[in-house]
Amino acid sequence: MQEKEFKNWMLGRDFSLATITRTLSYLRYIERLGLDIDNVQSMDEIMNFFAKLRNQGVTRKTLNNHIKVLNRYFQFRGIDIHLKYYREFRDETIIIMSDDEVQKILSVRWAHIDVNRRNHAMLKLLFATGVRINELIQLNWSDLYFHKKEKVWMLKVRQGKWGKSREIPVPPKVIKSLELWREVQVKTDPNAMFTTTQGRISHAYARNIITEAGKRAGVPYFHAHLARHWRAVKWLEQGLDLDIIKTYLGHSSVKVTQIYFKMRERGKMIEETKKKDRFFGSWEQIQPMEDSGGDNR
């Protein structure tokens, strides 16, 4: 990215310093996700990039933020590309998994002991800390340390969204799974927490493990970001303050975290209704109508 020239270009068009800083931060993050913005070969390359993010559970709002800054950068470069925005919905539905579904996923087993221990450690860490998949694959063993004063293991996320770091406590049972994995770990990368025979685990490889776990557990829609949603709601149910959850998840604003609170309250209302409103009979036998055109998620 031609950062210095782009910054001067924005200054010359009276963009505020806050907007300039935010724009550059977005573009650095997009580059870290794998899009070489100075060497884009075709519109298809950009569309494939956004399709991958969408499949990872990235919201339309976040994708539109990416599009805004990319259009701005392409304008600066004089490139004839103008990306269209995704249609945003007022309340983009967040799927919250049940505890039973989580237990089924964590009960999946793999034949080889090293693969089994690695995959279990990865899945447990996702559910226990709510880290994003990109953060998970970048973890090093040095990012895990014991806080002597608080007597708890802490995980430092070095490469969070917007380059911000944060720390999250890790439950003892998850630490035990990590220790078991480390005993048999393939030492193809001396630093990486999760590896394959080729080195540090890749995003695609990790995503395939997560997809396979979901399918084998009978939860075919499972992806890494759903573990993050579940973790946020469980923290809320356990009484953690919104500001604490915001910090652990690495949200830019508590307003983002409040989405989970709204989803939790919505879920409680629906469950209460199903338990008490029996005028038309039991709710348990209702199945989605075929080709109804509605959201059957």
Catalytic residues: 132, 161, 225, 228, 251, 260
Put the strands of the sheet holding 152-157 in their side by side order.
144-147, 152-157, 166-170
What is the distance of C-alpha 245 from the center of its chain? Answer: 15
Q: Are 92 and 224 a contacting pair, CB within 8 Å? A: no
| Residues pairing with 199 in the sheet | 196
The 3-state secondary structure of 111-172 reads CCHHHHHHHHHHHHHHHHHCCCHHHHHCCEHHHEEEECCCCEEEEEECCCHHHCCEEEEECH
The span from the CA of 177 to the CA of 180, in Å, is: 5
Q: Are 116 and 109 a contacting pair, CB within 8 Å? A: yes
- Beta strands per DSSP E along the chain: 144-147, 152-157, 166-170, 195-196, 199-200
Q: Which of 157, 127, 160, 138 is nearest to 232 (CA)?
A: 127
The span from the CA of 55 to the CA of 199, in Å, is: 25
Environment class of residue 177 by beta-carbon count within 10 Å: exposed (0-12), middle (13-18) or buried (19+)?
buried
| Residues pairing with 167 in the sheet | 156
Contacts of 288-295 with C-beta under 8 Å, sequence gap 24+, read 295/93
Per-residue tokens: 104? 């089924």
The span from the CA of 54 to the CA of 64, in Å, is: 11
